[in-house]
């Protein structure tokens, strides 16, 4: 019971930290009435990633078919928790608000890069192909969910690169809220800690592999 309590504490700490990590940025943009210096590529990767993670957590938490497919693969329950669902949905909404701000406040020189547009549309096309393969090939829908989790992981890996490059070119980090970085670090560490602790509680370390997108 004590370990379950600690898991809940870690889960909600990460959900709150990462769930609200975009709010300082939203407020900072509103105060400046500008998104100058903020990479639209970064925001796009973040938004698409959260959408993918929302579908992943919702299906793992609520969809009986996906849950059964997971159990057949791992012989155990998946480790997605309610706080994961709340975090994913909240992150998607907050990211959408930031995307809207870029349309309201952006300067004439700010736009989505060709590379970011290509990567985004390529991931969407990949999802359509996987869904078609599952539908017409009588496959398991969990393949599509794992594809979306792979997209989330890939976008998490690259999403800060455009912002880092923009900061370097401008020789400034003024456009980026420092609280965003702090909350991301705290939330990320708590997220990993909860996943590892849940795997220990369940005595099932394969659960980490099954929910690797949370790492």
Helix/strand/coil (H/E/C) assignment for every residue in 10-57: HHHHHHHHHHCCCHHHHHHHHHHCCCCCCCHHHHHHHHHHHHHHHHHH
pLDDT in tens, 157-190: 898 899 888 888 888 776 666 666 676 777 677 7
Question: Domain tally for the chain?
Answer: 1
- Angle (deg, nearest 10), helices 178-202 and 2-19: 150
Q: Is the pLDDT of residue 35 over 70?
A: yes
93: tokens are 């909404």
Q: How many CB atoms lie within 10 A of CB 41?
A: 22
For residue 211, pLDDT over 60 is answered with no
List the structure tokens of 113. 């890069």
Q: Which domain holds residue 184?
A: 2-214
Q: What is the pLDDT of residue 32?
A: 85
Check residue 191 and give its pLDDT.
73
Would you state the pLDDT for residue 8?
76
Q: Look at residue 53 in the predicted model and tell me its pLDDT.
A: 92
pLDDT tens sequence across 43-56: 999 999 999 999 99
The pLDDT confidence band at residue 205, using thresholds 50, 70 and 90, is low
Give the pLDDT of residue 79. 78
pLDDT in tens, 2-13: 777 777 777 778
Residue 173, SS3 per DSSP: coil
Reading the block at residue 19, the tokens are: 């769930």
Looking at every residue in the chain, the average pLDDT score rounds to 83
Cα gap 98→128, rounded to integer Å: 26
Q: Between the CA of residue 80 and those of 1, 11, 38, 83, 188, what are the distances in Å?
A: 18, 10, 32, 8, 15
Q: Give every CB contact of residue 184 below 8 A, 6+ residues apart in sequence.
A: 17, 18, 21
Highest mean pLDDT among 104-113, 120-129, 194-203: 120-129
So what's the pLDDT on residue 179?
A: 64
């Amino acid at each position: 019971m004590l370990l379950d309590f600690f898991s809940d504490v870690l889960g909600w700490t990460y959900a709150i930290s990462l769930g609200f990590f975009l709010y300082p940025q939203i407020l900072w943009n509103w105060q400046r009435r500008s998104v100058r210096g903020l990479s639209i590529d970064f925001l796009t990767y973040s938004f698409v990633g959260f959408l993918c993670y929302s579908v992943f957590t919702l299906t793992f938490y609520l969809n009986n078919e996906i849950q059964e497919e997971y159990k057949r693969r791992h012989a155990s329950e998946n480790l997605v928790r309610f706080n994961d669902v709340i975090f994913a949905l909240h992150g998607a909404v907050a990211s959408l608000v930031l995307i809207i701000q870029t349309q309201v406040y952006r300067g004439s020189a700010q736009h989505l890069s060709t590379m970011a547009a290509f990567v985004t549309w390529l991931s969407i096309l990949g999802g359509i192909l996987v869904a078609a393969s599952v539908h017409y090939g009588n496959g398991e829908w969990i393949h599509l969910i794992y594809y979306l989790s792979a997209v989330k992981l890939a976008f998490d890996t690259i999403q800060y690169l455009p912002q880092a490059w923009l900061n370097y070119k401008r020789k400034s980090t003024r456009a980026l809220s420092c609280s965003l970085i702090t909350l991301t670090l705290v939330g990320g560490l708590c997220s990993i800690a909860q996943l590892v602790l849940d795997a220990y509680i369940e005595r099932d370390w394969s659960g980490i592999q099954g929910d690797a997108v949370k790492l």
